[in-house]
Structure 1
Amino acid sequence: MTIQYKYADKFIFEPETFRLILEKKEIKLSHKESAVLVQLCINATRVVDRRTMLTEIWGDRESSDISLNKNILLLRRKFESIGIKNAIDTVPRVGYILKLDIETMQGDSLAHREEIIDDSINTEKLDANNSSKKAINKLIPVILILSIIIVTSIVINLTEKEKITEISLIRPNNKDNQRTIIYTNDIPENDYKKYITLSDLVNKSIHYYALISNEAISFINLDKKQNMTWQKTFLIDKNKDLSSQIKCMANYINSYEAKPLNVKNIPGMTFVRLNFYRSCSESDAFIGTMLIKSTTTDDGTSTWTQDFSFTGKNDEVLFHLKRFSRAYNSKKSMHLDIKSFTIDYVKQEALQLDFDLNRIFNQFTQDDIYLKTVDKQRKIYLSSVFGGIIFHVSTFQNNME
């Protein structure tokens, strides 16, 4: 009997034979890939501390950081090769999370163990009879593989950045410019009618901007003087009925009363307030409020200093950090190249237990974020987090909403 980890009908992972077993084929894993995947499967849907993996798998040896990064990258590529995208999430400066519901079971081995035994025997013989000439010959493919991995990593990184910069907005013809729904360009036009019901459900007296992306619906309320009074970001669960989620969002929007925030008046500093809600299909969807204070300039290239404080529904601070970025401004968008973080406080058990809170933390601690202007007069902008959300920027005053 051997331990196996099963994901739906997609694959069975068998650590003993270092294989991902599919219906019609098998994918061989390295020893280290298997060890990393075991840790992720045992703690599926929970964060695995990076330091724990480095200690248990590599014994904190030198270069273990690079090796862990490489094995995570290789596992992601293998999951993608069988149609499973975004299986492993990085929680910056904390660890990794396998976002698959894994079933642990025991059974007879399904893989071809003979092949693995033969490989092991051949490897041992080669090692025992190794010569300097063979060692040089063996180094050549290793160098080639490492070169391919490095180039692939660079290409993947650049591709992911390019995808973010490609976020553009679609504005369907809208006769009422006081109630505007816009879409990111990855929302199919045939799906617009699914979201337009939001306009029917929100009270007619409320003027607003709403942005639909694949991961979230963000909403900015406008009062009669066109002032932004509050903002909401509703996370979308694609596995739940969308119409019930939209009805729930409308109920929150119609009944919401903003709580005032007392903040110190610092001339020239800007702030953003974001209320976050988990997949909205029932009551108590509120996750918490993010307050972002920024010291910025309008120069083409400048350094941004930002303070992020996330408070839960019980007014408890769940994380507080400072982010330092190099901002590159262009005609199409602004690129924030994140240089460093200073984390003042993180309630780690909350990140571990609350998947949506973990997603929020992960989104705002990315290496690159892109910003885009939506309505310059009203100071409404787009951020690339969660595939695109809108927010309003204001300057500090006392007793703000």
Structure 2
Amino acid sequence: MIRRKFESFGILNGINTISRVGYMLRLEVNISQDTSNHSYISSEPHDDEARLDLCALEQQLRGEESLDNTTNRNKRVRRYYIFSCWQYLSMPVRVWLLFSLIGFVTAITYYYNEKYHEHTFRDLAHKKIVNGNILYTKDVKNFSFLENTMNMLHDQNYWMMVSKDAVSYIHMRDGKPEWQKLFFIGGQRSLIEQMQCIVEHLNDAVVDFATVTKPVRGMDYIRSYIYSPCESKKGGEGLGELFIRYTQFPDKAGIMIQNVSFINMDQKTVFKFKKVSEYHADFTKMSYVEYNRTKKVKHVKIKSIMFSELNQRLLQSNPLYARVLEELTTDDKYILTLDNEHKINADSTFQGMLYFDNIYNESVWGLD
């Protein structure tokens, strides 16, 4: 069968029969050129060409490995060199270098910490205002209420504080508080432009509200004029008059009863309510130069609110009306007395505002 298979390929007499022995395969082998791209490597000692190919391939593989080995070796050498340098240093030098590094890191950390906590009035510029100066800045950070009280400005002619939400100002005459205003911060203008606008407005030193609220004899009261963000040289648009009369007790813990009303520029009542609050005294350490001592801070929590008037149409007409109402009805407020003689205080309302209160003793008005 094998003979027939070879004959079908055209190979005749490919197998010879040898009697008593078997069969013998007689084929001619011709070496032909390989037309494929395959490489054949022979390790036979007589094949010089194949040996050369093998050596070339081995060198090529070793060359590729040497690149990676060189990179890794360089890294190891650098690490070893650094370690060796540190190892050969004497112990005093090591200690000196270590403490120098710690001191450098501490100095950098302290510098940036002080840079962050430096008081609000940076990049200062001056504007004359009623025989005094107001300092203002391009940048006001979101300081907490107590930090804002440490960054206020005042002299015999004014008190002023800038918080994230508002600028509050108390005008003084003959060393006594005369009137107070609060300007919202916001709008399209930058803070520096708004501060310049507020300064120009305050330079006029006028009260442009017609007061319609009535104090009650023997009761403390607060009257503050509130403005929208300052957008023009004439100052911010007047929103209304905030009037609060209240009774409280001088004990460390007690009850505060407030009658709060807000009247807009058209002398229309936006809202009016009575608020009963409970307060107790906390104590804090102030680092401001004039208050570097323990100060008593009142922590006020609302117990109840009862509205007697709420003009919803007016509230919808101006979002800032609702903003004022929200601030006055928010729980957990803090009050810090700054000048007990003139009853000048700082309040956490609007994230920090100044105000002064009076006691009315000249006439008697009925409670409404």
TM range (shorter): 0.5 to 0.7
- Matched to 2:127, the amino acid is D
Q: Give, in whole Å, the separation in 2 of the partners of 1:353 and 1:260.
A: 22
Q: Give, in whole Å, the separation in 2 of the partners of 1:270 and 1:293.
A: 6
Q: Give, in whole Å, the separation in 2 of the partners of 1:367 and 1:333.
A: 16
- Matched to 1:251, the amino acid is E
> Which residue of the partner structure matches residue 357 of structure 2?
393
- Matched to 1:278, the amino acid is S
Q: Give, in whole Å, the separation in 2 of the partners of 1:253 and 1:342.
A: 35
> Which residue of the partner structure matches residue 172 of structure 1?
none
| Alpha-carbon offset, residue 187 of structure 1 | 8.6
Contact 1:293 1:307 in 2 (8 A): yes
Q: Give, in whole Å, the separation in 1 of the partners of 2:300 and 2:164.
A: 22
Distance change (3 Å), C-alpha of 1:342 and 1:187: farther
Q: Give, in whole Å, the separation in 2 of the partners of 1:385 and 1:192.
A: 20
State the superposition RMSD in angstroms. 2.7
Taking the TM superposition and a 5 Å limit, the aligned residue runs for 1:216-227 are 216-224=166-174, 226-227=175-176
Q: Of 180, 184, 200, which aligns to 1:235?
A: 184
Q: Give, in whole Å, the separation in 1 of the partners of 2:183 and 2:166.
A: 5
Taking the TM superposition and a 5 Å limit, the aligned residue runs for 1:218-367 are 218-224=168-174, 226-237=175-186, 240-258=189-207, 259=210, 263-267=214-218, 269-282=219-232, 283=234, 285-331=237-283, 332-367=296-331
Contact 1:187 1:214 in 2 (8 A): no
Q: Give, in whole Å, the separation in 1 of the partners of 2:327 and 2:215.
A: 27
- SS of residue matched to 1:192: coil
Q: Give, in whole Å, the separation in 2 of the partners of 1:325 and 1:186.
A: 39
Contact 2:220 2:358 in 1 (8 A): yes
Q: What whole-Å deviation, never above 9, does each CA across 1:169-206 have from its counterpart, x for those lacking one? A: xxxxxxxxxxxxxxxx9995375135x54x51423268
Unaligned runs of at least 5 residues, structure 1: 1-184
| Alpha-carbon offset, residue 397 of structure 1 | 3.6
> Which residue of the partner structure matches residue 342 of structure 2?
378
> Which residue of the partner structure matches residue 182 of structure 1?
none
Contact 2:223 2:244 in 1 (8 A): yes
Q: Give, in whole Å, the separation in 2 of the partners of 1:255 and 1:393.
A: 23
Q: Of 95, 118, 121, which aligns to 1:189?
A: 118
- Matched to 2:159, the amino acid is Y
> TM-score, normalised on structure 2?
0.53
- SS of residue matched to 2:122: helix
> Which residue of the partner structure matches residue 208 of structure 1?
158
| Alpha-carbon offset, residue 321 of structure 1 | 0.7
Q: Give, in whole Å, the separation in 1 of the partners of 2:323 and 2:116.
A: 21
> TM-score, normalised on structure 1?
0.49
Distance change (3 Å), C-alpha of 1:201 and 1:286: farther
| Alpha-carbon offset, residue 318 of structure 1 | 0.9
- SS of residue matched to 2:200: helix
Contact 1:326 1:339 in 2 (8 A): yes
Unaligned runs of at least 5 residues, structure 2: 1-113, 133-155, 284-295, 364-368
Q: What whole-Å deviation, never above 9, does each CA across 1:20-76 have from its counterpart, x for those lacking one? A: xxxxxxxxxxxxxxxxxxxxxxxxxxxxxxxxxxxxxxxxxxxxxxxxxxxxxxxxx
Contact 2:215 2:245 in 1 (8 A): no
Q: How many residues align?
A: 212
Contact 2:242 2:262 in 1 (8 A): yes
